[in-house]
Structure 1
Amino acid sequence: MSDIIAHGGIGQGYRRRLAALLPAAHLAYVLLIWPLVYARGYVPADLATGPVAEAQPALLNRLFFPALAVLAVILLVAERHRIGRFRLFGACLLLAFFGYLALTAAWALAPSTTLTRLSLYVLLILSLIPAVLLADCLDDVLRPMFWVTVAAVVVNVVSIAVIPTTSIGFPGIYTHKNALGANAAIAGLFAIYAMTRADHRIRVAGFLCLPAILGLLLISHSKTSLGLLLLVPPTAVLAVAIRRRLRISLPILMVILTIPAAFLVSGGIPGFDYRDVSRAVSGDPTFTGRTDLWKFSATHIAERPLTGWGFQSFWGIGPASPASRMTDTFIARAPHSHNGYVDMALEGGVIAVAMLLSIILMIAWWIDRLVDRDVGAGILMTSCLFYLLWQNLLETDWLHGMTTSNVIFMLMMVSAVTLRNGRALT
């Protein structure tokens, strides 16, 4: 036994299991720990009726993210003989992207805000690397994440008895009903994934969670999240089926599907454009006021089209923000433009948008290989990617806030650029 311990047999297994839990730990932080500790210090963000109270969980962030990053470094050093390597192009792309976002602090309206918020994402990525490099398979990483979503669903269902519904919908343990909607929708994607697993306990848990998730979405009045949960999984299944049957790679398929959709909503058909889509979905041709935000953002993108105004250095930075000087109170109070692509262009210019789209295609290539080895995990990752792509059309989620979506996006980033034993994590 001492020989086994000396050669790291038991220690290696323990460290691999611990590394596989790191993404679940981050998911637990954004789904449960942060909301239960801080969310009650916020006023629900109903921008139409009043200002949003600010409360920054700086202390908890400063403890949690560095602690997990240090643990990640320790695991990597301890298991340095087992870790794989990075794809050169993918690693260089990620370094260039985050390096450029850091560089925007040189011309940002609030440089300290840019660097502070970016540092959290860098720590997040660092703490996810051991899970991808040391886990035996992707399911070892996704299974603990699923159980975290189950716990979040249970806590939010219980919260119905103690948390009142706001005028715009039920927020659960979060600051806003849209946060509950987004987290419930992602939990729904994991529940569907659970029903593809061989373990009957996971299948049953996923099956039982789905009705509760749908109930939370209904009482939250988060129509976008409910619509995405109903639309994304069948689209992902169709995409995976086309990939496996017709051998059309996922990135190419995404481009093929995106071109006609963009043509349609941009007014390519006379008498039909995005306003008609909005009217059909919500009865409001302005996407509940978002078009005013987009016009305002487009004006300021035109002022700095190449480099932008600085990463997360435009909205919510006080008097320095051009938005704060607007007489339109909806724009002045807005935390972002409610469109992830617009905000990426606003904050990082064409350069940041081009690199973001390259990263998305890189992730799609990784998922393309994944579906050949694990269909269930492939469908989940395809669903998450479609969810992110579509969610950011009406909300800003690309690297805005430490959200469930961003934890998954970072995990996909790291997975797409790493190799173990000559192949990607599957």
Structure 2
Amino acid sequence: MSDAVVHGGIGQGYRRRLAALLPAMDLAYLMLVWPLIYARGYVPADLSSGPVAEAQPALLNRLFFPGLAALAVILLIAERHRIGRLRLLGSCLLVAFFGYLALTSAWALVPATVLTRLSLYVLLLISLIPAVLLADRLDDILRPMFWVTVTAVAVNVASVAVVHTTSIGFPGIYTHKNTLGANATIAGLFAIFALTRADHRIRVAGFLCLPAILGLLLISESKTSLGLLLLVPPAALFAVATRRRLRIALPILMVVLTIPAAFFVSGGVPGFDYRDISRVVSGDPSFTGRTDLWKFSASQIAERPMTGWGFQSFWGIGPASPATKMTDTFIARAPHSHNGYIDMALEGGLIAVSLFLSIIMMVAWWIDRLVDRDVGAGFLMTSCLLYMLWQNLFETDWLHGTTTSNVLLMLMMASAVALRNGRSLT
């Protein structure tokens, strides 16, 4: 049997295609499989009556994520003669970040919680590595993910006939209307990306999905998600166009645009600050109670500014949490501070925030190079990054819960450090 058959034939092609499907499998599990099997057993709740119901690691979780990670390791071993390599600096940065989060268990309020929850993200990251090391093109990974989002949109549209709207909005097949909003927004970003592809089937599917996605966002009453879907694509288009026309690197552009935005929102303009923005958007200057949470969280960060309280070992840990001692029931029952950056500082301190922002800049550099090679994929990744950066201003999603955003975040992290035949995955 020739080397071409052994190393370049049917077996190899099958394993490479399977590796490219792994991110779509993660996405399908979170957007479709878990909700359809487990989610209806959890009753959506408003914080006025208790914390939003969050699923504990169920049997399917304990089987799926280790199983997919094991499959990923098998694929890497089987294709070890073809796999690329990881950038040393980027790999060290990821190891330092996740290693430090594990180290926080030494001073965490509930040490076991740190290691249990962190292991889930490590398994998720492992399951994505074969895709970025073995796939020939990023498009081979993104196409299956797009079809997963199309299926999720169709299932949620169909659920309108059987799922009742709650007092705070329509949840679709999920536990909470905000989950539907977040997943619909991500599906919307993929649908817009589909319009840039040459395959007419993908373009038509993306075009047909957009009105359905807007309809789901409207009935879900997820104002943040709807606003982000309307704001993120134009901002991403501006960033990509500026990158290609003016040759301004995306990380530099992000910093340049963030400074005036931060100045504006923080009250740099006399008589106007974030309370005015909240009043315009929701009619409530406190961002529906979030400012009280942020003030409380800031006071707790001040107690442990460098190291934090431990990864995911502050909110939702029972009586051990300082939040449960608060007389304000909204704070006492909150599942998080509704701000990903504040929670990162609260749980990991300045060290975790610095490492994480360094990873975000590394991801931005990867997207910057991607824009030159595939403008459509670059636009999608820019959109996803902007969506996560902005969404975490009002919700906590950075490494909190098994969400579609975290699948995308981990995929971008892995892609940013991967090299295939001396080049980045494009």
Q: TM-score, normalised by structure 1?
A: 0.98
Q: Which residue of 2 aligns with 1:229?
A: 229
CA distance in 1, matches of 2:143, 2:194: 8
CA distance in 1, matches of 2:202, 2:420: 27
Q: Which residue of 1 aligns with 2:271?
A: 271
Amino acid in structure 2 at the alignment position of 1:37: I
CA distance in 2, matches of 1:59, 1:325: 32
Q: Which residue of 1 aligns with 2:406?
A: 406
With 384-393 and 31-40 compared, the bigger mean Cα shift is at 31-40
Q: Which residue of 2 aligns with 1:388?
A: 388
Contact 1:41 1:55 in 2 (8 A): no
Contact 2:53 2:175 in 1 (8 A): no
Deviations 1:326-348 (A, max 9, x none): 11111111100000000000000
Q: Which residue of 2 aligns with 1:324?
A: 324
CA distance in 2, matches of 1:79, 1:302: 49
Q: Which SS does the other structure have where 1:393 is aligned?
A: coil
Q: Which residue of 2 aligns with 1:43?
A: 43
Tell me if 1:259 matches 2:259: yes
CA distance in 2, matches of 1:304, 1:138: 41
Contact 1:339 1:394 in 2 (8 A): yes
CA distance in 2, matches of 1:54, 1:264: 35
Q: Which residue of 1 aligns with 2:292?
A: 292
CA distance in 1, matches of 2:288, 2:420: 47
Give the length in aligned residue pairs: 426
5 Å-filtered alignment, 1:326-405, equals 326-405=326-405
Deviations 1:36-74 (A, max 9, x none): 111112121311134555642431111001111111011
Q: Which residue of 1 aligns with 2:245?
A: 245
Alpha-carbon spacing, 1:229–1:145, altered in 2? closer, same or farther (3 Å)? same
Deviations 1:139-169 (A, max 9, x none): 0000000000001000000000000000110
Q: Which SS does the other structure have where 2:38 is aligned?
A: helix
Q: Which SS does the other structure have where 1:21 is aligned?
A: helix
Shift of 1:7: 3.9
Deviations 1:193-238 (A, max 9, x none): 0111000000000000000000000000001000000000011011
Amino acid in structure 2 at the alignment position of 1:346: L
Consecutive unaligned residues of structure 1, counting only runs of 5 or more, are none
5 Å-filtered alignment, 1:91-240, equals 91-240=91-240
CA distance in 2, matches of 1:190, 1:196: 10
Cα RMSD after superposing both structures:
1.1
CA distance in 2, matches of 1:24, 1:96: 27
CA distance in 2, matches of 1:49, 1:326: 16
Q: Which residue of 1 aligns with 2:314?
A: 314
CA distance in 1, matches of 2:54, 2:6: 52
Amino acid in structure 2 at the alignment position of 1:60: L
CA distance in 1, matches of 2:376, 2:69: 30
Amino acid in structure 1 at the alignment position of 2:365: W
Q: Which SS does the other structure have where 1:229 is aligned?
A: helix
CA distance in 1, matches of 2:192, 2:354: 32
Contact 2:233 2:383 in 1 (8 A): yes
Contact 2:52 2:335 in 1 (8 A): no
Deviations 1:4-61 (A, max 9, x none): 5434511111000000000000000110111111111212131113455564243111
Deviations 1:223-272 (A, max 9, x none): 10000000000110110000000000000000000000001111112211
5 Å-filtered alignment, 1:7-86, equals 7-53=7-53, 55-86=55-86
CA distance in 1, matches of 2:53, 2:247: 51
Q: Which SS does the other structure have where 2:393 is aligned?
A: helix
Deviations 1:278-312 (A, max 9, x none): 11111111000000000110010000000000000
Contact 2:87 2:418 in 1 (8 A): yes
* Percentage of pairs with the same residue: 84
With 58-67 and 184-193 compared, the bigger mean Cα shift is at 58-67
